[in-house]
Structure 1
Amino acid sequence: MTFVVGAACVDVLDRACVEECPIDCIFIGNRMAYIQPDECIDCGACEPACPVEAIYFEDDIPPGQEQFVIENARFFDEPLPGRATSLGQPGGATGVGELRVDTIYVQEYRP
């Protein structure tokens, strides 16, 4: 189990959660942030920092947002548009920087 970023983050990208994450596992896409599920230690520091309440424990994602659990994992497990390889476990977001790309689902998502 891990924390995931839900629909409320799309097109907001406040980044307060990034500053609170003690292990640097929140990555910035183009329209939203993503939590690396294998690096997240479930500390929960990011959840109260989010001003739009977009971060949930995986099992507590609101009805209708279940796809965001899949998209948070897909962001790391599959090649993103314009990239030949997946991100995998890069060992922290700071070294990667803002990726300015999203999964296809998030690219096409309309609230």
Structure 2
Amino acid sequence: MNLFFKSMIAIVIVGSSFAFTSIQNEGLEVTYGVSADNPSSIELRLNKDFSVNYQDFSNPKQKIKVQGTYTLKNRKVQLTSQDASPSFHDKWKFSEEGTKASSRKGLAFYTLSKK
């Protein structure tokens, strides 16, 4: 009888721990970019189906245009390219309010505003 109660309590505890687990099955629908008068034309577009479009035309000799997917954890996003594209800013952090996206790749720091 004692074993029965202990196993029932263990089942309730394990079951209740799964009840509070957050499952993210829908992504964001948001676009971040530089101001319209900035010639670098950097844009990060995240879609609800976890697809991403990223472009960085800050270097006219090496324009970067990437399509792929992303993973979201807390306020951080990891981009994954579908093709073998050149090195790009693939890790982004969002501000508390979600109005800014920031990234660092080597000595290049980017901050994009929500459009």
TM class, shorter-chain normalised? Answer: under 0.3
What TM-score does the superposition give when structure 1 sets the normalisation length?
A: 0.28
What TM-score does the superposition give when structure 2 sets the normalisation length?
A: 0.27
Structure with higher helix content = 1
The structure with the largest alpha-carbon Rg is 2
